[in-house]
Chain A
Protein backbone atom coordinates (compact mmCIF):
# COMPACT_ATOMS: atom_id res chain seq x y z
CA UNK A 1 0.00 0.00 0.00
CA UNK A 2 0.96 3.65 -0.19
CA UNK A 3 3.40 4.99 2.35
CA UNK A 4 3.48 8.35 4.10
CA UNK A 5 3.30 11.11 1.54
CA UNK A 6 4.71 14.60 2.08
CA UNK A 7 4.48 17.68 -0.09
CA UNK A 8 6.17 19.65 -1.34
CA UNK A 9 9.42 17.72 -1.60
CA UNK A 10 11.40 20.94 -1.58
CA UNK A 11 10.41 24.47 -0.67
CA UNK A 12 12.44 27.63 -1.04
CA UNK A 13 11.02 30.84 0.38
CA UNK A 14 12.07 34.25 1.55
CA UNK A 15 12.58 35.12 5.16
CA UNK A 16 9.38 36.43 6.73
CA UNK A 17 7.01 34.45 4.51
CA UNK A 18 4.61 31.81 5.82
CA UNK A 19 4.89 28.19 4.65
CA UNK A 20 2.62 25.17 4.84
CA UNK A 21 3.90 21.61 4.75
CA UNK A 22 1.56 18.72 4.14
CA UNK A 23 1.58 15.14 5.36
CA UNK A 24 -0.71 12.34 4.24
CA UNK A 25 -0.28 9.36 6.60
CA UNK A 26 -0.75 5.70 5.86
CA UNK A 27 -4.42 4.82 5.78
CA UNK A 28 -5.58 3.48 9.12
CA UNK A 29 -2.71 4.99 11.09
CA UNK A 30 -4.17 7.04 13.92
CA UNK A 31 -0.88 8.39 15.24
CA UNK A 32 0.96 11.12 13.32
CA UNK A 33 4.25 12.82 14.20
CA UNK A 34 6.26 15.75 12.90
CA UNK A 35 10.03 15.90 13.32
CA UNK A 36 12.65 18.39 12.20
CA UNK A 37 16.10 17.39 11.00
CA UNK A 38 18.66 20.16 10.82
CA UNK A 39 21.98 19.74 9.01
CA UNK A 40 24.28 17.49 11.01
CA UNK A 41 21.68 16.88 13.70
CA UNK A 42 19.39 14.07 14.59
CA UNK A 43 15.66 14.32 14.47
CA UNK A 44 13.95 16.76 16.79
CA UNK A 45 10.37 16.02 17.82
CA UNK A 46 7.88 18.79 17.06
CA UNK A 47 4.30 17.59 17.55
CA UNK A 48 2.29 14.40 17.88
CA UNK A 49 -1.37 13.63 17.11
CA UNK A 50 -3.17 10.54 18.38
CA UNK A 51 -6.73 10.04 17.22
CA UNK A 52 -9.06 12.69 18.59
CA UNK A 53 -6.93 13.44 21.64
CA UNK A 54 -5.35 16.84 22.18
CA UNK A 55 -2.00 16.92 20.36
CA UNK A 56 1.32 16.88 22.19
CA UNK A 57 2.82 20.22 21.16
CA UNK A 58 5.73 20.09 23.57
CA UNK A 59 8.35 20.05 20.82
CA UNK A 60 7.26 23.13 18.89
CA UNK A 61 10.19 25.59 19.09
CA UNK A 62 8.14 28.80 19.05
CA UNK A 63 4.62 30.15 18.59
CA UNK A 64 5.41 30.67 14.90
CA UNK A 65 4.97 26.92 14.50
CA UNK A 66 1.55 25.28 14.48
CA UNK A 67 0.00 22.12 13.10
CA UNK A 68 -3.42 20.72 12.58
CA UNK A 69 -4.85 17.41 11.55
CA UNK A 70 -8.17 17.44 9.80
CA UNK A 71 -10.52 14.50 9.99
CA UNK A 72 -7.92 12.37 11.70
CA UNK A 73 -5.97 12.03 8.48
CA UNK A 74 -4.01 14.72 6.60
CA UNK A 75 -1.88 17.06 8.66
CA UNK A 76 -0.49 20.50 7.87
CA UNK A 77 2.50 22.05 9.60
CA UNK A 78 2.53 25.83 9.32
CA UNK A 79 5.50 28.08 9.97
CA UNK A 80 4.72 31.78 10.13
CA UNK A 81 7.21 34.60 9.53
CA UNK A 82 9.95 32.14 8.60
CA UNK A 83 13.49 32.69 9.83
CA UNK A 84 16.75 31.33 8.41
CA UNK A 85 17.12 28.97 11.36
CA UNK A 86 13.92 27.26 10.23
CA UNK A 87 15.82 25.80 7.28
CA UNK A 88 15.75 22.04 7.75
CA UNK A 89 14.16 18.84 6.53
CA UNK A 90 10.72 18.35 8.04
CA UNK A 91 9.77 14.70 8.39
CA UNK A 92 6.34 13.28 9.04
CA UNK A 93 5.68 9.79 10.38
CA UNK A 94 2.62 7.74 11.18
CA UNK A 95 1.95 4.57 13.12
CA UNK A 96 -0.83 2.31 14.23
CA UNK A 97 -2.34 2.96 17.62
CA UNK A 98 -1.12 0.83 20.45
CA UNK A 99 2.01 0.47 22.53
CA UNK A 100 4.91 2.66 21.58
CA UNK A 101 6.92 -0.18 20.10
CA UNK A 102 4.76 0.26 17.00
CA UNK A 103 7.18 1.25 14.26
CA UNK A 104 6.84 4.74 12.91
CA UNK A 105 6.69 4.93 9.14
CA UNK A 106 8.33 8.01 7.72
CA UNK A 107 7.76 10.06 4.60
CA UNK A 108 10.54 11.40 2.41
CA UNK A 109 10.38 14.78 4.09
CA UNK A 110 10.16 18.37 2.90
CA UNK A 111 13.45 20.23 2.55
CA UNK A 112 12.75 23.83 3.56
CA UNK A 113 15.25 26.52 2.63
CA UNK A 114 14.82 30.07 3.89
CA UNK A 115 16.68 32.70 1.90
Chain B
Protein backbone atom coordinates (compact mmCIF):
# COMPACT_ATOMS: atom_id res chain seq x y z
CA UNK B 1 0.00 0.00 0.00
CA UNK B 2 1.07 3.53 -0.68
CA UNK B 3 1.71 6.03 2.08
CA UNK B 4 2.20 9.78 2.02
CA UNK B 5 4.06 11.60 4.79
CA UNK B 6 4.02 15.29 5.57
CA UNK B 7 6.23 15.63 8.62
CA UNK B 8 5.84 19.37 9.20
CA UNK B 9 2.46 20.14 10.79
CA UNK B 10 2.84 23.92 10.50
CA UNK B 11 4.89 26.49 8.65
CA UNK B 12 4.95 30.25 8.47
CA UNK B 13 6.20 32.59 5.77
CA UNK B 14 6.52 36.33 5.39
CA UNK B 15 4.40 37.87 2.67
CA UNK B 16 6.34 38.09 -0.64
CA UNK B 17 8.88 35.50 0.50
CA UNK B 18 9.31 31.92 -0.70
CA UNK B 19 8.36 28.81 1.25
CA UNK B 20 8.84 25.11 0.58
CA UNK B 21 6.47 22.44 1.89
CA UNK B 22 7.85 18.92 2.16
CA UNK B 23 6.24 15.62 1.22
CA UNK B 24 7.58 12.10 0.95
CA UNK B 25 5.78 8.97 -0.16
CA UNK B 26 6.31 5.27 -0.32
CA UNK B 27 5.29 3.06 -3.21
CA UNK B 28 6.44 0.02 -5.14
CA UNK B 29 4.94 1.32 -8.38
CA UNK B 30 7.08 2.85 -11.09
CA UNK B 31 4.42 5.11 -12.51
CA UNK B 32 1.93 7.19 -10.58
CA UNK B 33 0.60 10.70 -10.12
CA UNK B 34 1.28 13.20 -7.37
CA UNK B 35 -0.78 16.21 -6.39
CA UNK B 36 -0.80 19.16 -4.06
CA UNK B 37 -4.21 20.33 -2.85
CA UNK B 38 -4.99 23.49 -0.90
CA UNK B 39 -7.77 23.66 1.69
CA UNK B 40 -8.67 27.17 2.88
CA UNK B 41 -10.96 27.68 5.89
CA UNK B 42 -13.94 27.33 3.56
CA UNK B 43 -13.08 23.58 3.52
CA UNK B 44 -13.16 23.18 -0.26
CA UNK B 45 -10.12 21.30 -1.53
CA UNK B 46 -8.56 23.01 -4.52
CA UNK B 47 -6.00 21.42 -6.83
CA UNK B 48 -2.77 23.43 -6.84
CA UNK B 49 -0.47 21.37 -9.04
CA UNK B 50 0.05 17.81 -10.30
CA UNK B 51 3.00 15.78 -11.50
CA UNK B 52 3.18 12.60 -13.54
CA UNK B 53 5.96 10.36 -12.25
CA UNK B 54 7.17 9.48 -15.75
CA UNK B 55 7.91 13.14 -16.47
CA UNK B 56 11.33 14.32 -15.41
CA UNK B 57 10.45 17.98 -15.73
CA UNK B 58 9.09 19.55 -12.59
CA UNK B 59 5.57 20.92 -12.88
CA UNK B 60 5.00 24.66 -12.56
CA UNK B 61 1.80 26.68 -12.17
CA UNK B 62 2.45 30.41 -11.89
CA UNK B 63 3.91 30.98 -8.39
CA UNK B 64 3.72 27.29 -7.52
CA UNK B 65 6.33 24.74 -8.52
CA UNK B 66 7.39 21.31 -7.37
CA UNK B 67 10.72 19.64 -6.75
CA UNK B 68 10.08 16.04 -7.71
CA UNK B 69 12.86 13.64 -6.74
CA UNK B 70 11.68 10.21 -7.85
CA UNK B 71 14.60 8.22 -6.48
CA UNK B 72 14.22 9.86 -3.08
CA UNK B 73 10.40 9.63 -3.29
CA UNK B 74 10.16 13.28 -2.45
CA UNK B 75 7.65 15.79 -3.80
CA UNK B 76 7.98 19.26 -2.29
CA UNK B 77 5.93 22.33 -3.15
CA UNK B 78 7.55 25.73 -3.52
CA UNK B 79 5.41 28.84 -3.25
CA UNK B 80 7.10 31.99 -4.51
CA UNK B 81 6.08 35.56 -3.71
CA UNK B 82 3.74 34.34 -0.96
CA UNK B 83 0.41 36.12 -0.65
CA UNK B 84 -2.01 36.40 2.25
CA UNK B 85 -4.47 34.29 0.26
CA UNK B 86 -2.01 31.40 0.27
CA UNK B 87 -2.73 30.80 3.96
CA UNK B 88 -4.41 27.39 4.13
CA UNK B 89 -3.83 23.71 4.78
CA UNK B 90 -1.85 22.01 2.03
CA UNK B 91 -2.17 18.32 1.34
CA UNK B 92 0.14 16.15 -0.69
CA UNK B 93 -1.61 13.25 -2.42
CA UNK B 94 -0.76 10.16 -4.46
CA UNK B 95 -2.73 8.33 -7.11
CA UNK B 96 -1.99 5.05 -8.79
CA UNK B 97 -2.23 4.66 -12.54
CA UNK B 98 -3.38 1.08 -12.21
CA UNK B 99 -6.84 0.29 -13.54
CA UNK B 100 -9.83 2.33 -12.54
CA UNK B 101 -9.05 2.44 -8.84
CA UNK B 102 -8.20 6.10 -8.70
CA UNK B 103 -8.70 6.99 -5.06
CA UNK B 104 -6.28 9.55 -3.68
CA UNK B 105 -4.01 8.75 -0.74
CA UNK B 106 -3.41 11.92 1.26
CA UNK B 107 -0.82 13.05 3.75
CA UNK B 108 -1.97 14.61 7.02
CA UNK B 109 -1.46 18.11 5.68
CA UNK B 110 0.48 21.17 6.70
CA UNK B 111 -0.95 24.46 7.93
CA UNK B 112 0.67 27.42 6.22
CA UNK B 113 0.33 30.87 7.72
CA UNK B 114 1.40 34.03 5.89
CA UNK B 115 2.62 37.00 7.94
CA UNK B 116 1.82 40.46 6.54
A43 proximity list for chain B (CB < 8 A): 45, 91, 93, 104, 106
Q: Are A100 and B102 in contact (CB under 8 A)?
A: yes
B97 proximity list for chain A (CB < 8 A): 99-101
Q: Are A93 and B45 in contact (CB under 8 A)?
A: yes
Interface string of B44-77 (1 = CB under 8 A from A): 1111001010000000000000000000000000
**How many residues of B sit at the interface, in one of the four size bands?**
20 to 34
Interface string of A57-101 (1 = CB under 8 A from B): 001000000000000000000000000000001010101000111
User: How far apart are the CA atoms of A106 and B45 in the complex, in Å?
Assistant: 6
| Tally of contact residues, A, Cβ under 8 A | 31
User: How far apart are the CA atoms of A81 and B96 in the complex, in Å?
Assistant: 34
User: How far apart are the CA atoms of A41 and B39 in the complex, in Å?
Assistant: 13
Q: Are B102 and A42 in contact (CB under 8 A)?
A: no
Q: How many A-B residue pairs have CB under 8 A?
A: 70
User: How far apart are the CA atoms of A56 and B93 in the complex, in Å?
Assistant: 19
B42 proximity list for chain A (CB < 8 A): 108
User: How far apart are the CA atoms of A98 and B94 in the complex, in Å?
Assistant: 16
User: How far apart are the CA atoms of A111 and B108 in the complex, in Å?
Assistant: 18
A35 proximity list for chain B (CB < 8 A): 104, 106
The residue that A102 contacts in the complex, of B93, B102, B103, with Cβ under 8 A, is B102
A44 proximity list for chain B (CB < 8 A): 106
Give the residue among B4, B103, B107 with the most A Cβ atoms within 10 A: B103
Q: Are B47 and A103 in contact (CB under 8 A)?
A: yes
A56 proximity list for chain B (CB < 8 A): 101, 103
Instruction: With A42-B109, A100-B95 as known contacts, state yes or no: A48 contacts B43, CB within 8 Å.
Output: no
A-B contact list, 12 entries, CB within 8 Å:
A33-B104, A45-B104, A91-B45, A95-B102, A100-B102, A101-B50, A101-B95, A103-B35, A103-B47, A104-B104, A106-B46, A108-B42
Q: A50-B102, A100-B96 are in contact. List 13 more A-B contacts (CB 8 A).
A: A33-B104, A42-B6, A42-B91, A45-B105, A53-B100, A56-B101, A100-B97, A101-B95, A103-B50, A104-B45, A106-B44, A107-B44, A108-B43
